[in-house]
């Protein structure tokens, strides 16, 4: 594979650099969704995209570079939506509910996102981990920090530590996708279908807004709904 | 390594089978805590325990067998505590608070638990995954199911889906340990010290019981505290 990368330069580029890079990202993303795994080889990606494997090196340096670019692409889409959301003229509680649904839908749409994040943070290079922190963790945390401040200012939220809030909300959303496998083995719980996703969004909205205790929940539903 | 396993049978066993197996588990656990990683080799475990590496095969079959036994050992301790907790003559809300603290403290005490669970569920054999589901996921889910039913019966909890509750609570607790690394890179958030652990327990108790909305929280604190 190493020598192949340096010898076979493709002669046909269907549409220039960006189009080629984009094709590789689309192919990688589709393969990961099909296989429900981030274990895809460069040659599989090349084959699916119709792009020569040598161009991965040209565009992304190596496979981890491609994975990083894929996550960056998806994260950028999400962050744009967060900026749009926070600028809306609606109550902080309504923004929070939309945000919860947004996270869960993003993970459902891109189930490999979780795994890429864990892989690039824990098993790749320190540089890759720094990049993921910069384009994913930091802006998401920053968004939540602003939303929480807005909610406190509007007297809708109690004062809560943003880092702890981030940890619990993102962790709980992650786990629907990361932990589901184990639960289905243990209890006959089914896979994460669109319907399960919708139910989990409702569950998380209710839990984050109003908690589990009955007295709170009744008040919470009234206040929020 | 393979041939070594079949040739060097140890002549000295300091205390019989169980003691040897226990020593290997203790050594594996200590190494994982020291390194904050489950990447420990059989020879490292053997060296630290003073036990011949060949005995790993004898007691556990292979390295994944040892990892499974280690997780089973720790899970058994936790499950005993859960049975003790649910039998206590205290309110369901009080049990829930103790349970939240128990999960977070268990992960803090055994930070490798998370990673072992993920590894054995996703990267080892289907048999290993089934075992983890049986001795870890299923009893924990069963405990929460009973606790939730008790809370509903006592009119303290609203009716909530146990599988979804499990997913969000365990996910949020997991993430303090699994996701912290990323957050420290992004924002200068420090490591999970004893103090961070205590704060997260308080945070999770408040969030799970009363949620984020201010009206709820005031009522929640009054009802729960």
Highest mean predicted confidence (pLDDT) among A123-127, A139-143, B109-113, B129-133: A139-143
At B150-209, the pLDDT tens digits run 999 999 999 999 999 999 999 999 888 776 666 666 666 777 889 999 999 999 999 999
Chain B interface includes A171 (CB < 8 A) = yes
User: DSSP letters along A148-183, please?
Assistant: HHHHHHTTSB----HHHHHHHHHHHHHHHHHSHHHH
What is the percent of chain B where pLDDT is above 90? 56
pLDDT value of position A183: 65
In chain B, the residue whose alpha carbon lies closest to the alpha carbon of A134 is B186
- Nearest by CB to A170, from B179, B200, B219: name it: B179
Q: Determine the average pLDDT of the residues in B84-95.
A: 97
Q: What is the pTM of this model?
A: 0.82
Q: What tokens appear for B73 in the block?
A: 């050992």
Interface test with A, best of B135, B142, B164, B221 (most A CBs within 10 A): B164
Q: What is the pLDDT of residues A87-132, one digit of tens each?
A: 999 999 999 999 999 999 998 888 788 888 878 887 788 888 889 9
Task: Give the pLDDT band of residue A188 (cuts 50, 70, 90).
Answer: low
Q: How many helices (H) and strands (E) does chain B have?
A: 13, 0
State phi, psi for B188 to the nearest 5 degrees. Answer: 75, 15
Q: What is the pLDDT of residue A159?
A: 95
Residues 62-81 of B with CB under 8 A from A: none
Which residues in chain A touch residue B165, judged by CB atoms under 8 angstroms apart? 203, 207, 212
Question: Torsions phi, psi of A74, nearest 5?
Answer: -70, -40
Per-residue pLDDT tens over the stretch A156-171: 999 999 999 999 999 9
Where would I find the H helices in chain A? 2-7, 16-35, 42-49, 54-60, 63-86, 92-109, 112-122, 126-132, 138-153, 162-178, 180-187, 194-210, 214-224
The percent of residues above 70 in pLDDT, for chain B, comes to 82
User: Chain B contacts of A118, Cβ < 8 Å?
Assistant: 178
Tokens of B193: 């010290």
Distance CA(A89)–CA(A84), nearest Å, equals: 10
- What would the pLDDT profile of B127-167 be if each residue is shown by its tens digit? 888 899 889 889 999 999 999 999 999 999 999 999 999 99
pLDDT grade for A180, boundaries at 50, 70 and 90: low
């Amino acid at each position: 594979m190493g020598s192949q990368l340096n010898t076979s330069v493709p002669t046909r580029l269907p549409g220039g650099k960006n189009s080629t890079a984009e094709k590789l990202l689309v192919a990688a993303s589709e393969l990961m969704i099909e296989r429900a795994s981030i274990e895809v080889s460069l040659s599989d990606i090349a084959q699916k995209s119709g792009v020569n494997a040598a161009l991965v090196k040209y565009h992304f340096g190596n496979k981890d570079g491609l994975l990083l670019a894929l996550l960056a692409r998806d994260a950028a889409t999400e962050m744009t939506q967060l900026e749009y959301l926070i600028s809306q003229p609606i109550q902080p509680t309504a923004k929070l509910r939309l945000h919860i649904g947004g996270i869960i839908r993003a993970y459902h749409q891109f189930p490999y996102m979780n795994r890429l994040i864990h892989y690039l943070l824990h098993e790749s290079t320190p540089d890759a981990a720094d990049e993921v922190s910069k384009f994913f963790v930091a802006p998401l945390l920053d968004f939540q920090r602003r939303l929480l401040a807005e909610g406190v200012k509007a007297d809708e939220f109690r004062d809560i530590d943003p880092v702890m809030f981030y940890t619990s909300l993102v962790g709980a959303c992650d786990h629907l996708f990361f932990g589901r496998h184990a639960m289905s083995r243990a209890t006959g719980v089914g896979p994460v279908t669109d319907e399960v996703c919708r139910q989990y969004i409702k569950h998380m909205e209710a839990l984050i807004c109003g908690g589990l205790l009955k007295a709170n929940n009744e008040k919470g539903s009234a206040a929020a709904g």
